A = this chain, B = another copy of it.
Amino acid sequence: MPQRIRALIERLAKLSEAEDWAEDLNPAQMTALTYLDRANRFSRAPSHVAAYSGSTRGTVSQTLRALERKGLVTEFRSESDRRSISFEVTESGHALASAQKMLDQVLTALPPESAAALELGLDTVLRDLITARGGKAFGICRTCRHHLKLGAGGYCQLLAVNLQPAETGQICHEYETAG
């Protein structure tokens, strides 16, 4: 049973990634782009992309350069730490990242409760797997243990910054489960 589920996951992923080529992006580039599109401003450095995608800084460096060449992301060097770089997704990058794929259509056609169950199940499995391997989880800001609700927006106790409402729904590399 678990092996069948694993086979299903791997096959689905492969089929889904096969579509990336249609956009002139390889799967690694598409993963980086969609990640950057959903990550908050503290989580858009090459090393964060590397940690998220389970790759290395060197490889990600090439991937991001390709995305920049194609005008999908823009590089911003930090003022405070001149070693670090943050990437912004451009308008055309955002359009590509949020383009609907065939898998999305199929998922949308699913009964809502099935889709919800699927998402919950997969999310649980992913977090368990990451915990077992000792990696970073990369969760949604507002569900993090360091998050405080503050009016419409929020406050991060770890980074000691105020958060815009929209930011609290983005991915953060510092995420830790509330439990």
Q: Please tell me if A162 contacts chain B, counting CB pairs below 8 Å.
A: no
Chain A contact residues: helix, strand, loop or mixed: helix
Within 8 Å CB of A110, what residues of B?
A: 121, 124-125
Per CB-CB distance, the 3 closest pairs between chain A and chain B, nearest first, are A13-B13, A2-B107, A2-B104
| Contact B129–A34 (Cβ < 8 Å) | no
- Tell me whether A95 is interfacial, beta carbon within 8 Å: no
Q: Tell me whether A54 and B14 are in contact (CB under 8 A).
A: yes
State whether the Cβ of A15 lies closer than 8 Å to any Cβ in chain B: yes
* Cβ of A118 under 8 Å from chain B: yes
Query: B121–A14 contact, CB under 8 A?
Result: no
Q: Which of A3-11, A84-92, A144-152 forms part of the interface with chain B?
A: A3-11
Contact pick for A17, options B2, B10, B118, B119, CB 8 Å: B10
User: Smallest Cβ distance from A111 to chain B, in angstroms?
Assistant: 10
A54 to B38, alpha carbons, bound, how many Å?
Answer: 29
Query: Is A126 part of the contact surface with B, judged by Cβ < 8 Å?
Result: yes
| Chain B min CB distance to A59 (Å) | 13
Query: Do B129 and A121 touch across chains, with their CB atoms under 8 A apart?
Result: no
CB distance from A12 to the nearest CB of B (A): 5
Contact A115 B2 (CB under 8 A): yes
Q: How far is the CA of A129 from the CA of B104 in the complex (A)?
A: 9
Within 8 A of B (CB), among A10-53: 10-18, 27, 31, 34, 38, 53
* Contact B8–A126 (Cβ < 8 Å): yes
Contact B118 A121 (CB under 8 A): yes
- What's the minimum C-beta distance from A74 to chain B, rounded to whole angstroms? 22
In the assembled complex, the Cα of A2 lies from the Cα of B16 at a distance in Å of: 12
Scan A101-114; emit 1 where CB is below 8 A from any B CB, else 0.
11111111110001
Chain B residues with Cβ below 8 Å from A98 are 3
